[in-house]
Chain A
């Protein structure tokens, strides 16, 4: 079997609204084990596991945890459930199918870092997940896994649900911090990093939903065992949101190192109506577009980083040969025009110009000069934007210029 269910093990097996059902399936065992350990030993296990963040950037989790634990005073823990990247639905699936696992991960890390207040920032469109999580918090409080004097160990931790309001950029750490403070979600300049100055200028840890859901497994089974799964640079499993023109769209969990082709053909059962693949977009709107011959590439953070992108979210969007690459690029770029927060010029103005240039190609009015302008502008936006939105939004353009250059030439007017 190419699937390996760790995070999705309980999906469909338990009643997500019943804490008893979760407890019967090993739920809160990891927390019980954790509170018997020295806090720094928990972070050691996370380091040994070599787990990297599942929100896209693939940053080693222990570094942020240790940074937070070294701070004193009020500290915050935030679960990033903003999931706005088109093509992703894995975080929604975890929240709807195994919400206590996320909460347990948060409580363990609150204990490990000495934090007393937590937030889960759920995108406004995920009303169902929001209702489920509010009930999850209440049930955990009633059973003594959350709130005051958790498991009689004398530590307190509260979690509040915060709703997004339709802004993709709020998935970015500083934008999210601004939003949690009740303000427009415009990013801040780094450093200082959130683990030094985050919410109300206090140290703040932000991790993705899937990252938090992994923590209980690492604590329960040990970091060493976790590190044996996957590849040397990307350990553990990855939830894959498979969508587009495949027969079996859906959520799959595979160990890192699995090839993209296997996910599409073995799990997704190939394309509908026996069509062939024109392109595959990885990660979402801010991810690269690759041709069919590259599908043997394995799912691995370092492979994705070759594209200078945050594609570790695990979305795979399959697009068949009926579609033109420019239509896909135009949808991606209009998304960024709409989602730019407007704080810096390259991103605010640049995306509008990119859309104008793409339209020129689409209507066969583009010249070789336009091709050069598109390429130059894409690199300017990537290199001069203030936050991750503008730094990653050009990945689909840049990768398509590399792998689908003939499609551009076919549209250029000589």
Chain B
């Protein structure tokens, strides 16, 4: 994990890099979120008000101010996936993880989210875990993927 200071060093002190900074830092963080202290630090560095940074974070779905799990599981539910059994995929994930849309498991390992089209409709149904995309999903495939991730942690 790289520190916020190191991320900031990579970008010029310009407001236009705000979203890039937020995304890069959030990705590198264990719980994938921007804390209020992070907001203060960025606000000082870019010399823009904290309220402006918060309004940017709340506008964009991929940015968050609440902690998430180590793995953010985003399952697509738009029409091309829906007609290819995405509902079963979502239900399998609910069964395996014991949480539903927007929730995080008590061990902070997984957050489950229903998301918009991932641009993989040719290999639907699809989901994304952190920055990795998984396609042509079946309930059996899901089970393997989740078990593998659980195994990695142990």
Question: Does A213 sit within 8 A of B, measured CB to CB?
Answer: no
Bound CA span A159–B127, Å: 30
Q: 1/0 per residue B68-102: CB within 8 Å of A?
A: 00000000011110111000000000000000000
Bound CA span A89–B120, Å: 6
Question: Does A320 sit within 8 A of B, measured CB to CB?
Answer: yes
Inside 8 A of B80's CB, which chain A residues have their CB?
A: 86-87, 243-244, 317
Q: 1/0 per residue B119-130: CB within 8 Å of A?
A: 111111000100
Size of the B side of the interface (Cβ < 8 Å), in residues, is 35
Question: Does A74 sit within 8 A of B, measured CB to CB?
Answer: no
- Please, which residue of chain B has its CB at the minimum distance from the CB of A278? B83
Interface residues of A in 272-312 (CB under 8 A from B): 281, 285
Q: 1/0 per residue A155-167: CB within 8 Å of B?
A: 0000000111111
Q: B78–A87 contact, CB under 8 A? A: yes
- Please, which residue of chain A has its CB at the minimum distance from the CB of B77? A331
Minimum distance in angstroms from A247 CB to a CB of chain B: 12
Size of the A side of the interface (Cβ < 8 Å), in residues, is 52
Query: What is the number of contacts between chain A and chain B, taking CB atoms within 8 Å?
Result: 122
Interface residues of B in 5-36 (CB under 8 A from A): 14-20, 22-23
A124-B23, A185-B59 as given contacts; A87 in contact with B121, CB under 8 Å: yes
Q: B122–A241 contact, CB under 8 A? A: yes
Question: Does B3 sit within 8 A of A, measured CB to CB?
Answer: no
Q: A86–B18 contact, CB under 8 A? A: no
- Residue in contact with B60 in the complex, picked from A84, A86, A166, A285, CB distance below 8 Å: A166
Q: A332–B16 contact, CB under 8 A? A: no
- Residue in contact with B83 in the complex, picked from A179, A250, A319, CB distance below 8 Å: A319
Question: Does B61 sit within 8 A of A, measured CB to CB?
Answer: yes
Instruction: Give the B-binding residues of A (Cβ under 8 A).
Output: 83-89, 91-92, 123-128, 162-168, 179-186, 241-245, 249-251, 281, 285, 317, 319-320, 323, 327-328, 331-332, 335, 338-339, 341
Given A165-B19, A328-B79, 18 new contacts (CB under 8 A): A87-B79, A88-B119, A89-B120, A163-B19, A165-B61, A166-B62, A166-B63, A185-B60, A241-B121, A242-B122, A244-B121, A245-B84, A249-B121, A249-B123, A317-B79, A323-B83, A328-B82, A335-B78
- The 4 A-B residue pairs whose C-beta atoms are closest, nearest first, are A166-B61, A165-B60, A166-B62, A184-B59
